Amino acid sequence: MKIISSISELRETLAPLRKQGKKIGLVPTMGALHEGHASLIDHSSAECDVTVVSVFLNPIQFGKNEDLDKYPRRLQADAKLAEEHGGTFVFAPSVSEMYPNGDPLTLIRDESLEGLYCGSYRPGHFRGVLTVVAKLFLISCADVAFFGEKDYQQVFLIEQMVRDLNFPIKIVRVPIVREPSGLARSSRNEYLTAEEKNLALGISRGLLAAKSAFDAGERNVDNIRNIVKQSIASNGGTVQYVEVASQATLAALDGSATIGEKVVILVAAFFGTTRLIDNIEL
């Protein structure tokens, strides 16, 4: 496994491979890799000849009071996991390499969607995400990029950006990877105590209960939302939001509405001081 830290070296390394007709896959991460990331790398190595795993803790997507400083950093372990799952290169640039002049003045944003759901509680977050992802697309010139569906709003915005700006790259969504208990894999699960981790199952259990109700014929938006909210609250969690949104547009359905299209339940909740997100498609 070769770890590359400069933009110029990555480009010089990938250029001859591209000329040989090699298909290049990109797996963007912030490090602290776990089984969810491993699944992304597995998908890339199965579809592509070369897999670049980027490990970059992007400061411009974190707010002032968020967990940038305590976010896990373990590059060597990340590189080992990437190699075990078929990764070819790890791209691990410094902040100064990615943003040599400080925070960039040119930012990519989606004015209609970036302020919804997670964006309404994390101002500027998705501008930071879209900007760094666009940079990684341009730096790597990858043919395919792989993103996990746990970050549902994020991958939706990235797909929209690719269409709007005509990036010549294919986006592949990879299903959520869960712990045996049902908890969605996340680097932030490390912040949970053993008790909080058990209580946090209220999210996935609530989502499954809502899906069961939907499959049994329930179509009222508020009723679906309340099933999830009650599951979280009864396990000691604090709901930040539970929304039922259109899969096609990501617009939230009114609480009194009757579900008549493909939707996704989007959730953010706190257990202790740890914020977790999850979702399920109906």
Catalytic residue among 34, 37, 85, 125: 37
Burial 81-101 (b: 16+ CB within 10 A, else e): bbbebbbbbbbbbeeeebbee
Question: Furthest-apart CA pair in the chain: how many Å?
Answer: 57
CA 78/CA 279 separation, integer angstroms: 26
Q: Which residues 6+ apart lie within 8 Å of 273 measured at CB?
A: 191
The yes-or-no answer on residue 37 being catalytic is yes
Cα dihedral 164, 166, 172, 175, rounded to 10, equals -10
Q: How far apart are CA 119 and CA 153, in angstroms?
A: 9
Please state, in angstroms and rounded to a whole number, the distance separating the CA atoms of residues 218 and 211. Answer: 9
Q: On the CB side of 22, how many CA atoms lie within 13 Å of its CA?
A: 21
Sign of CA dihedral 42, 44, 50, 55: negative
Name residues whose C-beta falls within 8 Å of residue 31's C-beta, 6 or more positions apart in sequence: 55, 56, 57, 71, 72, 73, 74, 75, 78, 92, 187
For the annotated catalytic residues, the residue numbers are 37
